[in-house]
Structure 1
Amino acid sequence: MKLADAESRGFDPERLARIDDFITAQYIDTGRLPNAQLLIARDGDPVHFSQFGHLRADGTAMREDALFRIASMTKPVTSIAFMQLVEQCKVALDDPVARVLPKFADLRVYTGGGGSIPFAPGQRAEPMRFVDLLTHMSGLTYGFQNRTSIDAAYRDARLDMPRRGMNSDEYITALAKIPLEFSPGERWNYSVSTDVLGVAVERLSGLKLGDYFERHIFAPLEMTDTGFDAAIDRADRLGDAWAYTPRDAPRVIDSAERSRMLEPAEFHSGGGGLISTIGDYHRFCTMLLNRGMLDKARIVAPKTLDLMTANHLPDDADLTRISRSAFSEASNAGSGFGLGFATVIDPARTLMPASRGEFYWGGVYSTAFFVDPVERITMVFMTQLYPSSTYPIRRQLKTLIYSALVRSNSR
């Protein structure tokens, strides 16, 4: 990968080198992570790229164009796709979801039941709006939250990031039968909301979600290795996925040679189904940094991205005040939530170096990205360890990156 001169872009090269030393000593040599890739850029130009470990348990070497399951880093892509349709006035943020997905016309809030006991009829919910899906204030949940009877019903119905076994119609039908955790707009809860949003993109555009992405996002941005089925004809570039195991080395939970990612996706999960490379996702982040444009490709308007990265939580709250989620990809203190991204609203409360207005997200296999519009820095980090809450590497990377920045735009 061609790199710009880090020193001329405001970084101390010796301090940047400490990042690789840290990853090697703390995560690779110790066996905590099987592999990693890190790309840091300023003004869209990469100033640091490094890779570590092996692609597969059999020792296959890591490669620059390795394919990763980016899981919930799919969500910002889906959110951008939906906002493209908002820009065309095909839908509005305050439209009821039931306008596009009629199964959501009579949603109920949980009042009792679950497991072997049928759910109680429940209280009628406030109409769910598309803004509720984008902000994760819809009342939906994830089965892996492992907190309530609603979560258990999601697990039974296999509603967390499905790939095969149901189509989008069947998905919405199954989801609409389960009560909501709360009435839309009342709380924040990490959920399958973006999967529902992806189905809405399909209905509004008349295209399968992956086809919509390819036509309106990936092809214009020249993201040639990203898609729901991107691994099928690039199987040699797909790595294994591992899971954390207490007191032992990570174990493989999705072998690259037998991965479900090598089968065509029946359901295109807008919340977590994409495969990508670090180079492709860097291009996506650079588009975000440039307020919706990369090279000559305009993906969304600057004001649209400004709206997406503003805090939409009530009373400008951060997630600690409004979240009831047992798990998410956000660091709650000092972070609000926009239309598809967590956004830093109070850097001091994050207890990390950060800029107000920085936005970010990650995936359950410990992938991560952030975009800092003030310092004009982007970072993409790739690995394949489940779950992303295992280690504090995202916080550590941010600290190391900002510690290497010696010419700041903030003052």
Structure 2
Amino acid sequence: MTTESAVTMGESVAVKPRTTGTNPGVTLEPAAAGFDERRLGRLAAYLDECVARGLNRGSIVLVARRGELVHVSSHGTRDAEGRLPVEPDTIWRLYSMTKPVTSVAALMLWEEGVLSLSDPVERFLPSFARMRVARPGADGATVPAVEPVRIRHLLTHTAGLTVTGLADNAVNDAYRAAGIAALGEPEPYTLDELCERLASLPLLFEPGSAWNYSHATDVLGRIIEIASGMRLDEFMAKRIFEPLAMTDTGYRLPADDRPAALYRLNPRTGRPELMPDPGVAAGDLPTLVAGGHGLLSTARDYQRFVQLLARGGELDGERLLAPRTVDLMAANHLPGDSTMSAFSHPPARTTGIHAGRGFGLGVAPLLDPRSVDSLSSAGEYGWGGAAGTNFWVDPEEDLTVLFMTQVMPPPDDTWLALRRLVYQALVS
């Protein structure tokens, strides 16, 4: 497919982006946006090298400043046979890059007064009314939770929930025993059923007392359904994707040749190996329509979501959030301006992409770039996905970067290199 058309569910929608120079998709020459074009070429060369070294099979990166694309480059192939190149309309599994979208959906309802960040989850899900907390050092012993799980806890991953296989403790064992799948495993239950299982299990810690990556955004997705009266995928389609013209984003895998093949790095060889897609058949809606993962999108589509955040909640005349709400979303909400690693439970020493970052309402802001030897600006925020997708927004420089690839586990080294390569090319 060329950059002049987009296809979704069999419908063709005309799209004629402005282009300039020799780089298709670029709408502003790098020099006019403050970039040294020669230095920016190092970014494309690095991603070509990633393919050549076998770190991934294909990728695409989009760099924008002041809302204008200054660099777009595709690398490698999207199909398992290695014949079809990566293109702007290649379909990528977002995994946890679904979470910022769900967070925006919840904040839209918050702005409308449908819910409050301080609302106890039990207001919408009564089964969360009498949660219990695992007692440290006591295998299987629990005590009643003092603080209710609140919506702000879901948005900040401070609810006390966890993810199967994330750590070795009694709570994670209980998740496994309850049939809650780990990453990449089949999920033969609905969002409502998942939330009921989560409510029956002990919390890892008292709500609000620590940070832990979890199923919190899935519970948030169920609250969106109850509060809006719409299924989560329908709410996203009507309230986010249609207004933003994100025509290729949703939970259904298209039945064409655009989806990128999914790979897992072999821990012994360090080379990507094709892995079976854990999703459902093309065109079908998965049983679990989750708030924390499951969306599929193109770089072209998700770039519009990223620009919505960068432009303060409005894009091309469609306002989904107020600028102050986006600022609130991107601020650090961990107590004492703490980082994720310092506030985590169990304690974690973070040295990768999350080092030096706090956590906001669905995204992770960088607090002190110098403390982690980063060229990014303080306040740069974003998130990534389990198959290597990643984005960030830098309000200080009015800069955004979106990267798509499909390899597990997510490549921390690549994500960090992308930031260095983008910022070393930004000269004014």
TM-score (normalizing by structure 1): 0.92
Q: Identity across aligned pairs (percent)?
A: 39
| 2:423 aligned with 1:402 | yes
Which residue is equivalent to 1:111?
A: 135
Matched residues in 2 for 1:242 and 1:397: separation?
20
Match of 1:287 among 308, 311, 314: 308
For the 8 Å contact 2:353–2:415, the answer to whether it is kept is: no
For the 8 Å contact 1:154–1:160, the answer to whether it is kept is: no
| 2:261 aligned with 1:237 | no
Size of the aligned set, in residue pairs, is 398
Which residue is equivalent to 2:268?
A: 247
Gaps of 5+ in 2: 1-23
| 2:52 aligned with 1:29 | yes
Match of 1:380 among 392, 402, 408: 402
Q: Cα 1:273–1:113, aligned 2, differ >3 Å: closer, same or farther? A: farther
Gaps of 5+ in 1: none
Letter in 2 for 1:9: A
Deviation at 1:151, TM superposition (A): 1.8
Deviation at 1:60, TM superposition (A): 3.3
Matched residues in 1 for 2:281 and 2:31: separation?
40
Match of 1:297 among 318, 343, 367: 318
Q: Cα 1:399–1:261, aligned 2, differ >3 Å: closer, same or farther? A: farther
| 2:119 aligned with 1:98 | no
Deviation at 1:21, TM superposition (A): 1.1
Which residue is equivalent to 1:211?
A: 234
Matched residues in 2 for 1:329 and 1:40: separation?
25
Matched residues in 2 for 1:319 and 1:365: separation?
21
Written as runs of structure 1 = structure 2, the 5 A alignment for 1:10-49 is: 10-25=34-49, 27-49=50-72
Partner deviation per Cα, 1:58-110 (whole Å, 9 max, x = no partner): 11312221000010000000000000010011110001010011110011001
Does the residue aligned with 2:268 lie in a helix, a strand or coil? coil
Letter in 2 for 1:151: N
Letter in 2 for 1:192: H
RMSD value over aligned CA atoms?
A: 2.1
Match of 1:67 among 84, 91, 111: 91
Does the residue aligned with 2:362 lie in a helix, a strand or coil? coil
Matched residues in 2 for 1:340 and 1:391: separation?
19
Higher mean displacement: 80-89 or 169-178? 169-178
Deviation at 1:318, TM superposition (A): 1.7
Deviation at 1:299, TM superposition (A): 0.7
| 2:350 aligned with 1:350 | no
Match of 1:363 among 377, 385, 405: 385
| 2:298 aligned with 1:274 | no
Which residue is equivalent to 1:182?
A: 205
Q: Cα 1:165–1:125, aligned 2, differ >3 Å: closer, same or farther? A: farther
Which residue is equivalent to 1:333?
A: 355
Deviation at 1:331, TM superposition (A): 3.2
| 2:191 aligned with 1:168 | yes
Compare the two structures and name the one with the higher helix fraction: 1
Matched residues in 2 for 1:299 and 1:101: separation?
26
For the 8 Å contact 1:242–1:384, the answer to whether it is kept is: yes
Does the residue aligned with 1:369 lie in a helix, a strand or coil? strand
Deviation at 1:177, TM superposition (A): 1.3
Does the residue aligned with 1:145 lie in a helix, a strand or coil? coil
Q: Cα 1:286–1:54, aligned 2, differ >3 Å: closer, same or farther? A: same
Partner deviation per Cα, 1:353-407 (whole Å, 9 max, x = no partner): 111221110001111000001111111100001111x441111000000000011
